[in-house]
Amino acid sequence: MGFQRIAEVCEKGGDGVRDSPVFFFAKNRRDGEFSLITADLIKQVDKLFINGEWVEAASDKKIEVINPANRKVIAKVAAGNQEDAERAIAAARKAFDEGPWKEYHPSERAQILFDIARIVQHNKEELAQLETLDNGKTLRESRGDMDGVIRTFRYYAGLCGKPYGETFEADYPLSAKVVREPIGVCALIIPWNYPLLMAAWKLAPALAAGNTCILKPSEVTPLSALRFFELIQEIDIPAGVMNLVIGTGMDAAQPLTESKQVDKVAFTGGTETGKKIMMNSLSNLKKVSLELGGKSPNIIFADADFETAMDYAVFGIFNNTGQVCSAGSRLLVEKSVYDRAVEDIISRVKQIRVGDGSIETTQMGPVTGEKQYEKVLDYINIGRSEGARIAFGGNPLLVEGSEDGYFIEPTVFVDVLNDMRIAQEEIFGPVLCVIPFENEREAVQLANATPYGLAGAVFTSDSAKAERMARKIKAGTVWLNTYEENLIEGPWGGYKQSGTGRELGVYGYEAYTEIKQIINNLDVQPTNWFNS
Ligand code: NDP
């Protein structure tokens, strides 16, 4: 059912919000346009996808999925458990070891990825609206995510068969070459802040390299993955190559990380969960890539283009309601422009239209779930008690028409000391910490004084200073005069406790391969080692 069809259904549905047994849809309150869709599009909402078919979960327990804009239950999904995880592992194992998948030519795998991109493109609006319904992010953000999903599948379709091995000089008569092979069964565990985009960042390179996969979305936001798996059923993908298990981290994901039948775990999420996953993966020393949290410094020098720097300072923390691993949550501002910057930021933050993400004019949606809502409010109180000053926000926000939503005012703490907890720990919400600095040396010292190292940015009109800073910041990505530009073509990942390994680009593809050296003897005759 495409978007047009959904609109027709909505037309018949009449005005306002209308509940159905498990889903609901609504007419946009501001401009009267229908913009929410029904999640009951998903026929298999309470099933898992294992070995090429939709199956019942082992237990009949269900997990309620909540729309964070109004706390309504929008779906009840299967609560997969260890038994389900083991079924998925067995299917993926068999598909890798015995199935036709590994005989597929790179061009055939590429065609599958191109087909997935085409299907997402065709259903982009529907998937975007579903993502907004489930995660709370604005429609603009969800549409941007879907564009990212499409580009990721296209990029890795194009990459299939392109990365090549090497040969190297060896003493005659030896000839040596290096080839890359798929690792095997990959468990892909993803978070709730970019549900389908994070799935794409893992599925696309894993499949391009010839692996089989088990995707475990966050229990908080499983709907776009469920719908995605339904939509791609029209493609002829061998059974067991792509499996979907829904359930809590403890019940459904941990068994994947502990299993000796799984060869690789790729995870995006919190640092503490990442550490646990690394420990649990020791059973068979599986390959682990972790994309974890951050406390990224966004550094504004006095000589920066002020308008641009302020614009990105606000975008860098409040886009996606601050629930971004690379959010510019620590804004370091050179003292000579500090007061002016704080004043300017407050004037911008006041204008942010917070509300239900499904309303086209909303600029910042709710926080994604109750746990995160409580966590962000707790941190705001911690900041207060640490002596940081709230220059704007700092409270839950009552949004007219969405009174029950998990809304929090965009919050700006000023005069923050870098060793305060609010400047050291990942809040993962719409909370900015502004910290003054005296000079370049102090900016570097503050930027690096954190356990994290995912990203950072520098705003200056001095290109030599920009590059000096970029070299000194300990982070996997440094933006110069921009923020949050994520290139599918480039490596993404962190230094220090922001993770291990790199996603995206050729680096992301290589992370799903084993390296094999093949040494060939060009002069085949005995060595006579034991005859001399
Ligand atoms: P988690 O890191 O715990 O969750 C991410 C994924 O891991 C989910 O699919 C989750 O499942 C799963 N998971 C949870 N426990 C385990 C486990 N023992 N073994 C394997 N997988 C597991 O995120 P939270 O929702 O708990 O958020 C906590 C904090 O993490 C946030 O406040 C934020 O600071 C950070 N975070 C960072 C993200 C990033 O992009 N770097 C993304 C999300 C969170 P399930 O949700 O079903 O329990």
Closest ligand 1 atom to 291 CA: 41
Closest ligand 1 atom to 254 CA: 19
Distance (angstroms) between ligand 1 centre and the Cα of 427 equals 13
Residue 343: CB partners within 8 Å, gap ≥ 6? none
Alpha-carbon distance values, 470 to 82, 222, 299, 301 (Å): 45, 37, 11, 13
Closest ligand 1 atom to 217 CA: 9
- Rounded to whole angstroms, the Cα distance separating 469 from 413 reads 25
Whether 64 is catalytic: no
Indicate the pairing of strand 452-453 with strand 495-496. Answer: antiparallel
- Nearest-CA residue for ligand 1 atom 3 is 273
Distance (angstroms) between ligand 1 centre and the Cα of 293 equals 10
Whether 291 is catalytic: yes
- Rounded to whole angstroms, the Cα distance separating 301 from 322 reads 23
Alpha-carbon distance values, 515 to 164, 180, 181, 199 (Å): 11, 5, 7, 24
Which run of H or of E encompasses 160?
none
* Burial tier of 121 (Cβ tally within 10 Å: 0-12, 13-18, 19+): middle
Q: Which residues pair with 298 in a beta bridge?
A: 331, 457
Euclidean distance between the first and the last CA atom of the chain, given in angstroms as a whole number: 77
- Rounded to whole angstroms, the Cα distance separating 311 from 302 reads 15
| Predicted model pTM | 0.93
- Nearest-CA residue for ligand 1 atom 26 is 270
Question: In Å, how far from its chain's centre is CA 440?
Answer: 32
DSSP H helical ranges for 160-299: 195-208, 223-231, 254-258, 271-280
Closest CA to 474 of 498, 491, 439: 498
- How many other β-carbons are positioned within 10 Å of the β-carbon of residue 173? 11
Ligand 1 proximal residues by C-beta, below 6 Å: 189-191, 193, 216, 218-220, 248-250, 253-254, 257, 268-270, 273, 276-277, 292-293, 325, 372, 375, 426, 428
The residue behind tokens 């965009």 is 410
Angle between helices 124-135 and 106-122 (to 10 degrees): 70
- Nearest-CA residue for ligand 1 atom 48 is 249
- Rounded to whole angstroms, the Cα distance separating 263 from 286 reads 5
Closest ligand 1 atom to 256 CA: 20
Give the distance between the most distant pair of CA atoms in the chain. 94
Distance (angstroms) between ligand 1 centre and the Cα of 21 equals 29
Per-residue pLDDT in tens (0 to 9) along the chain, 532 residues: 333 334 444 444 434 344 333 344 444 444 444 444 555 678 888 999 999 999 999 999 999 999 999 998 889 999 999 999 999 999 999 999 998 998 899 999 999 999 999 999 999 999 999 999 999 999 999 999 999 999 999 999 999 988 778 898 889 999 999 999 999 999 999 999 999 999 999 999 999 999 999 999 999 999 999 999 999 999 999 999 999 999 999 999 999 999 999 999 999 999 999 999 999 999 999 999 999 999 999 999 999 999 999 999 999 999 999 999 999 999 999 999 999 999 999 999 999 999 999 999 999 999 999 999 999 999 999 999 999 999 999 999 999 999 999 999 999 999 999 999 999 999 999 999 999 999 999 999 999 999 999 999 999 999 999 999 999 999 999 999 999 999 999 999 999 999 999 999 999 999 999 999 999 999 999 999 999 8
Distance (angstroms) between ligand 1 centre and the Cα of 178 equals 36
Distance (angstroms) between ligand 1 centre and the Cα of 236 equals 32
DSSP H helical ranges for 15-138: 82-97, 106-122, 124-135
Query: What is the SS3 assignment for 180?
Result: strand
Structure tokens at 131: 């993502």
> Which one of the listed residues 126, 291, 334, 484 is annotated catalytic?
291
Distance (angstroms) between ligand 1 centre and the Cα of 251 equals 13
> Which one of the listed residues 325, 334, 409, 503 is annotated catalytic?
325
Closest CA to 499 of 462, 441, 451: 451
Q: Are 84 and 48 in contact, with CB atoms under 8 Å apart?
A: yes
